[in-house]
Amino acid sequence: MFITIAFSSCSDNDETNIEDIKKNQIKFEDKIYDISWGEIERENEGDGFYIALFPSTITLNGENQNTYAGSGFILEIEPILTNNDTPEGVYNESKAWVYFIPSGFVNGEYQEDSIEHYIGSNLNFIIKKNANIYEFSITGKDDRGLEFNAYYKGSLIEHE
């Protein structure tokens, strides 16, 4: 299982960094991508969480809201490992694995063969929670040494 964070609506902006953004966005390769909503699921074995963030161009469909529609970028986060009942904390590459996939979803289908960028160098992933509002801050470098920054604050749809 994996976590997916998807993004769309990008624009060029060399001068912006994560401290300036502080809204639901990601910055990678001098582009900004907007985040609209998210979901969270407890790992079956109980020692981690999967979290997915999406752009407004991807929607959740189906009777049990378990299928997706639309296209967008994806940021996958493999299990956020924790021994607590909350994903709150500070994580590095030994506790969360992050991949940015530029063409992750096309017409609601996950693109398994798409180019992916592993964000594992200097990874710093912070999760805070206040009531039902989560706040995420992710910084690091991809496998080519390019800076990666993401920020999200909002509620998450809970899946069991």
pLDDT at 21: 56
Which of the pair, 125 or 48, is modelled with greater confidence?
Answer: 125
The C-alpha atoms of residue 129 and residue 84 are separated, in whole angstroms, by 13
Which of the pair, 13 or 58, is modelled with greater confidence?
Answer: 58
Give domain limits for the chain.
Answer: 4-159
pLDDT in tens, 22-67: 789 999 988 888 999 888 888 766 677 888 888 888 888 866 667 8
Beta-strand (E) ranges in 79-156? 80-81, 89-91, 98-106, 109-110, 117-118, 121-130, 133-141, 147-154
pLDDT at 150: 92
pLDDT at 7: 37
pLDDT in tens, 71-117: 987 777 776 777 677 788 888 887 787 777 777 788 988 887 787 78
Q: What are phi and psi of 20, to 5 degrees?
A: -80, -30
pTM: 0.79
> 58: closest CA among 50, 73, 69, 48?
69
pLDDT at 93: 82
Q: Are strands 157-159 and 37-42 parallel, antiparallel or unpaired?
A: parallel
Confidence bin at 154 (pLDDT 50/70/90): very high
pLDDT at 18: 43
Q: Which amino acid is at 24?
A: N
Kindly state the tokens that stand for 41: 């699921």
